[in-house]
Structure 1
């Protein structure tokens, strides 16, 4: 069977996929884990299918399932083809076939009504901000952990109450997301939205930086422009980047050690432009750098482990053969 043509509803009605979702059949689990890893472009449909099965598994008891079968029988009896169908055997009601049929019927007639009856529950949000030179770890109520970089803000609900988990980030953070098949986890930034079930990845979205990036360490993530005009899937060691006012997501490979070095207090520059250097130093130390050297074509490389900003500036000036002057929190670079 060509599962590449399946949508979420098709997956949710497939007995083998249901066995994989319920973790009851080792062969089905092995098949679907391998198939999903080979077809990352179907992650969205897989996620949606798991959400459908989660609602069905939690919401429908035996009376509802019996009623679902009666409605399904009626649907078949009144179809245009008028084809005779053998009565459904109900001696063992709660099996995979029953769940597949109930899922199909739910998709056709019941899920929409159920969703309309859901009443939104007001959420209490927490906004956490790190000052310059500070990193911290935040643990969410679902067990997910976020390491927040300096000059960064994370907005998140005190408790996830709906069928999704969403947070907002301005700045940089390393995310270790607890897996929850019934609720996707989304990180929203000013340019990119990142959606996962459970994985590890780094998001850098400073407003004063030249680009916004999502770097995947483990698992698989879907990265989408905030205006929903482009969407890609990342594999481990792949990084998605949007630069300036671009409306295109670029994809490349990266070094995990370099991208996540900030978690250990290390600042790394690799062929960095002046704008990149100024942005990183400002976000790390709150120091503004002004370039009056007349040279805007910078390609500077260097690594600094838990170093004060004066030492960094001195190293840069030595390498560039330039001078500097400090006035409060402003450093001016001169020829």
Structure 2
């Protein structure tokens, strides 16, 4: 591995191709990753004052050079690190700390290889920008996980909950949303994925571009067109395709709106539990299938929404703390 590129990478000066080279090399074996981490510690541990006071820099650098030489001999990558040694020697004049302090190494670079998680709790929504510039909006009670270090070679996120994506175009590197063994694969598009932990389904709605839905029984995938929504059962992996005349209605949660069009009371209260961090108890299970239509702001309280819906005289309700009981009229 070219040591000049490694140094640029560690200093944050490498371009996309150089980042790809270093990250591919580091992921090739645990030894390479450990070597990269040690180089990082040696070059940048100076920022830690406590390490600066305790460590013999020259001794640590000599030890590190020996470790690198040993690893290079054992590795299939047998390129010389002579120029790197020269750079490390020059850097030593500015480095006041190094890798090994009482046998303990600081896990600074390891953060680059760790999982990144963006999450929301009940009643919250959030927006985030991913490393490639793609944007994602998270609905309430949602978690999104990805590996920052692999982003230049693999654009993949794990989703639990509901999120809307606007994916940066990259025809060479697909963007994959993974949920319950079901993948939504895209190159650049706008779409919404719903994969709630308590629901035995994954629902993908496409607004722009194209996506490919993949499951264990259909690994070749099925292509969606704008305005289409596909629901895949996570038990049987059977798929159902639906055409929407107004697919943007799926995204009302982003704009702070709750719109129901003949939705069952069960689906409405399930959504309200996520938004308002409350619990609903049905004292008559037949109420679950009652259907309602309405348009509300997410700033409305759950009591205000229920007051309007209950004007149909189909049900009543009363509240005990965070638990709302629904009764048959």
The verdict on a shared fold, with TM-score over 0.5 as the criterion, is yes
Aligned match of 1:88 = none
Aligned match of 1:198 = 188
User: TM-score by structure 1 length?
Assistant: 0.60
User: Where do 1:208-247 residues align within 5 Å?
Assistant: 208-209=198-199, 211-225=201-215, 228=218, 231-243=221-233, 245-247=235-237
| Coordinate RMSD, CA, aligned | 2.6
Residues in 1 aligned to 2:312 and 2:200: alpha-carbon distance in whole angstroms: 23
Whether the aligned pair in 2 keeps the contact of 1:193 and 1:226 (CA below 8 Å) is no
Aligned match of 2:14 = none
Deviation sequence 1:113-166 (CA, Å, 0-9, x none): xxx99xxx9832111111222211110111010011111111122243453210
Whether the aligned pair in 1 keeps the contact of 2:214 and 2:220 (CA below 8 Å) is yes
Aligned counterpart in structure 2 of residue 261 of structure 1, from 252, 259, 275: 252
Whether the aligned pair in 2 keeps the contact of 1:130 and 1:149 (CA below 8 Å) is yes
Residues in 1 aligned to 2:211 and 2:151: alpha-carbon distance in whole angstroms: 22
Aligned match of 2:302 = 309
Residues in 1 aligned to 2:118 and 2:173: alpha-carbon distance in whole angstroms: 23
Aligned counterpart in structure 2 of residue 174 of structure 1, from 158, 164, 167: 164
Whether the aligned pair in 2 keeps the contact of 1:165 and 1:184 (CA below 8 Å) is yes
Tell me how far 1:238 sits from its aligned partner.
Answer: 0.7
Residues in 2 aligned to 1:302 and 1:191: alpha-carbon distance in whole angstroms: 34
Aligned match of 2:140 = 150
Aligned match of 2:263 = 272
> What secondary structure does 1:263 align onto?
coil
Whether the aligned pair in 2 keeps the contact of 1:230 and 1:248 (CA below 8 Å) is no
Deviation sequence 1:270-306 (CA, Å, 0-9, x none): 2222331221111111111111134243222222123
Matched residues, number: 220
Residues in 1 aligned to 2:234 and 2:211: alpha-carbon distance in whole angstroms: 23
> What secondary structure does 1:187 align onto?
strand
- Structure 1: segments with no counterpart, 5+ residues: 1-54, 60-115
Tell me how far 1:231 sits from its aligned partner.
Answer: 2.5
Whether the aligned pair in 1 keeps the contact of 2:228 and 2:247 (CA below 8 Å) is no
Residues in 1 aligned to 2:220 and 2:273: alpha-carbon distance in whole angstroms: 31
Residues in 1 aligned to 2:181 and 2:201: alpha-carbon distance in whole angstroms: 9
Tell me how far 1:174 sits from its aligned partner.
Answer: 0.7
Residues in 2 aligned to 1:223 and 1:294: alpha-carbon distance in whole angstroms: 34
Aligned match of 2:291 = 299
- Structure 2: segments with no counterpart, 5+ residues: 1-16, 22-75, 78-109
Aligned match of 2:279 = 288
User: TM-score by structure 2 length?
Assistant: 0.61
Residues in 1 aligned to 2:249 and 2:200: alpha-carbon distance in whole angstroms: 18
